[in-house]
Structures are given as structure tokens and as C-alpha cells.
Amino acid sequence: MFSGVVSRGFATAGSNAGRANALPSLGRGFVAAGVVGGAATALWTQRAYMAAAPPVALSPSEFRKFKCVKVERLTANTNKYVFELPDGGVPGLTVASCLVCKVNIDGADVIRPYTPTTGDETPGSMELVVKVYDQGKVSKAFGELKVGGSMEMKGPFKKFEYKPNDKKEIGMVCGGSGITPMYQVIDAIVRNPADKTKVKLVFCNVTQEDIILKGQIDQWAQDPRVSVTYVLDKPPAGWQGGAGYLNQKMLGAWLPAPSPDNMVYVCGPPPMMNSVSGPKKSAAEQGELAGMLAAMGYSKEQVFKF
Ligand SMILES: Cc1cc2nc3c(=O)[nH]c(=O)nc-3n(C[C@H](O)[C@H](O)[C@H](O)COP(=O)(O)OP(=O)(O)OC[C@H]3O[C@@H](n4cnc5c(N)ncnc54)[C@H](O)[C@@H]3O)c2cc1C
């Protein structure tokens, strides 16, 4: 791009090289090239960008099949799946978004939402972290998915638009695979040095071995903006984190205080949602705030249930 503009400038200068006013001509040539070149450069940049912009692989209006290229076991019941996005494509995600996966069981389509843990920063692939339930429908299909197999997906669907520096502190309470939407938001914050938002993550699991994505989370916890508390139902001897079921005292110590400057996200299995925030009314509706967060003085607007 830049060399094209410069070479045009020098070509003009070259045609004037033998003249007494070569230097001013050179100057004019540069100015002319600069003006014409500026417009051309803008056009070139736009075209080059359009040519270079990776295609968006997902569609929110139709299911598309994506090939699984890697399966990595994270815990006894949770795997990371890497899907190929054709032609170096990107998911086209904004934070925070999910997608839906569809499987056909005995002639009936079953659809469930999942949260990609990678976004447009990794063209050509996308990762999902999925907990497999033996009695589950779609998660069981994930459990049976092998490299070379495929999954039908549609999306992305925006849960809300995360805005850097909109809040001072964000508390996150999650359990098991409920970490995935939190993961998406923390990743966006940590990647953006201009985002001063502080994160206080409370991540609940049954045993230490159940903690998924711990390596990445521990790395994020080195960032002064991120603090992490792991809570285990069954802690091992000498465990330094939280232990037992969540209560108000724990949440009071680990979450940002109720304030319009702060926000709390919640995502986890139904019993946890019930006790922390009350259930979501439906996929699209938050419903009333209940549970411990309501008792602690958070307002409905200060809590988002994934
Ligand atoms: C917005 C959103 C994003 C999500 N993102 C992810 C994600 O990134 N990764 C992920 O693994 N899951 C995610 N989930 C959960 C996922 O959508 C499914 O609910 C889950 O995979 C179970 O679906 P299933 O069809 O296998 O089980 P279902 O057939 O729906 O349930 C059958 C049985 O499985 C068990 N079961 C199912 N879900 C739970 C649960 N949460 N806790 C305890 N037992 C359960 C129960 O025994 C239940 O009776 C997300 C959910 C939402 C709403």
C-alpha cells in the first residue's frame, strides 16, 4: 500500500529530474501523489480490508455443520472441542454471545445453547467447552463426538453487549460449565489494557479435579484486575479456597458490593441459580431477582443471569 504511493511520487519527480525547478516539481509531485494517492490509498485500504476480512462462519438464521478437528479431555466429564471454520472464517461473535447446537434424536431435533470460549481472534477455528451428562441429550452427543465428526450450529446470539469501563466491578458466580460465559467476558477484559473493569470470580465445583480451564483462569488471576475464589463442595485436606455450599457471608466477602457501579453475573446448574439469584424466567427473560443476591440488597438491574 505505502510503497505504491511512494513509487508514484518518485515517478513524477523522475519526469522533472532534468529541469531547473526539479525540486519544487518533486514537491508538487509528492503533494499531487499525496492527494490522489490518499484517495487511492483509502479505496485500496477499504478493498484490501474487505478482501482480507475473514468470512463469518456462523449464521443466526440457519444451522451449519462444522467439523470437529480436536477433542481435549479437561476433566472426567468435560471436554474442549475445536471446530474448523472453513476458509479461515470467524464466528462473528460479540461479547457476550452464545450459539445453539442441534442434534437429531429418534427423528426429533434437540437444540441447546453453548458458549464459545474463543472468538474472532482465532480465525479458522472455534472452541466449545462442554460438560457431558450421561442422561443428557445434546451433551451426550458431544460426548460421542470424535475428530472428523461434525456438529450443527446456529448463531451467534447476543446475551448482552459487554461495554468496557461501563461498570467498576463485575462479580461472577458460576458452577461447573457455567464458567464459559464468564470466561468469554474475562478474556475480553484481559485482552483490553484500556478496560479498567475489575472482575471478582467465584467459581464453584464439587472437587478440585472438576475445575475446568483452571490453567487459563490462574493466569488471568495474575492480572491486578482479576481476583478468583475457587469453592469446592468436597475440598481436599489443606484446601486454601472456599468450602461447602455458598452462603451470604461468602458472597459478601467475595463479590463487589451492591451498587449501580457494579454488576453480578450468575451461571450454573439450576439448584445454584435458585439459591444465588433465583431462576431465569425463560431463555429470553431474566425474571425477578430472588435468592441470596436479592437478600443482600442487589437490585434486579445489578444482576445478569446467563
Ligand atoms: C446461555 C447458555 C449457555 C450455555 N453454555 C454452555 C457451555 O458452554 N458448555 C456447557 O457444557 N453447557 C452450557 N450450557 C448448558 C447446555 O445448554 C445444556 O443445558 C447442557 O449441555 C445439558 O443439555 P443436555 O441436552 O445434554 O441435557 P438435557 O437433556 O437437557 O438434560 C437431561 C439431564 O441431564 C442432567 N443435566 C442437564 N443439565 C444439567 C445441569 N446444568 N446441571 C445438572 N444436571 C444437568 C440432568 O440430569 C437432566 O435431567 C449453557 C446453557 C445456557 C442457557
- What string of DSSP letters covers 55-94? PB---SSS-EEEEEEEEEE-SSSEEEEEEE-GGG-B----
In short, whether 135's Cβ falls inside 6 Å of ligand 1 is yes
The pLDDT value given to residue 33: 43
Calculate mean pLDDT across residues 156-163.
96
Q: Which residues pair with 112 in a beta bridge?
A: 101
In short, whether 180's Cβ falls inside 6 Å of ligand 1 is yes
**The whole model's pTM is what?**
0.83
Query: Distance (Å, rounded) from C-alpha 253 to C-alpha 270?
Result: 23
Contact in structure between 118 and 125 (CB atoms under 8 Å): yes
Closest atom of ligand 1 relative to the 130 alpha carbon? 11
Calculate mean pLDDT across residues 277-299.
97
In short, whether 125's Cβ falls inside 6 Å of ligand 1 is no
Cis? peptide before 156, omega within 30° of 0: yes
Tell me how far the alpha carbon of residue 305 lies from the centroid of ligand 1, in angstroms. Answer: 15
In short, whether 74's Cβ falls inside 6 Å of ligand 1 is no
Calculate mean pLDDT across residues 220-230.
98
* pLDDT surpasses 70 at 159: yes
The pLDDT value given to residue 77: 95
Lowest mean pLDDT among 36-50, 70-84, 257-271: 36-50
The pLDDT value given to residue 8: 24
Q: Does residue 272 share a domain with residue 207? A: yes
Q: Does residue 293 share a domain with residue 202? A: yes
Residue of 249 and 20 predicted with greater confidence: 249
Please indicate, yes or no, if residue 265 is contained in any of the structural domains.
yes
Calculate mean pLDDT across residues 125-130.
98
Q: How many domains does the chain have?
A: 3
Residue of 95 and 22 predicted with greater confidence: 95
Tell me how far the alpha carbon of residue 256 lies from the centroid of ligand 1, in angstroms. Answer: 28
Confidence of residue 235 (pLDDT cuts 50, 70, 90): very high
Query: Which cell numbers hold the place of 292?
Result: 441470596
Query: Distance (Å, rounded) from C-alpha 173 to C-alpha 295?
Result: 16
Q: Does residue 74 share a domain with residue 46? A: no
What whole-number percentage of the chain has pLDDT above 70? 83
Q: Does residue 192 share a domain with residue 100? A: no
Domain that holds residue 99: 64-158
What spatial distance separates the first Cα and last Cα of the chain, rounded to whole Å? 45
| CB neighbour burial string for 134-151, b if at least 16 within 10 angstroms, e if fewer | eeeebbbbbbebeeeeeb
Confidence of residue 39 (pLDDT cuts 50, 70, 90): low
Tell me how far the alpha carbon of residue 16 lies from the centroid of ligand 1, in angstroms. Answer: 74
Calculate mean pLDDT across residues 248-252.
98
Q: What is the mean pLDDT of the chain?
A: 87
Q: Specify the residue for cell string 466491578.
A: 169
Q: Does residue 35 share a domain with residue 148? A: no
Q: Does residue 137 share a domain with residue 48? A: no
The helix (run of H) or strand (run of E) holding residue 174 is strand 169-175
Nearest to 169 by CA among 37, 39, 263: 263
Please choose from 75, 101, 106, 133 the residue to mutate so as to test ligand 1's pocket, defined by most ligand atoms within 8 A of CB.
133
Query: Distance (Å, rounded) from C-alpha 167 to C-alpha 184?
Result: 17
Q: Does residue 11 share a domain with residue 86? A: no
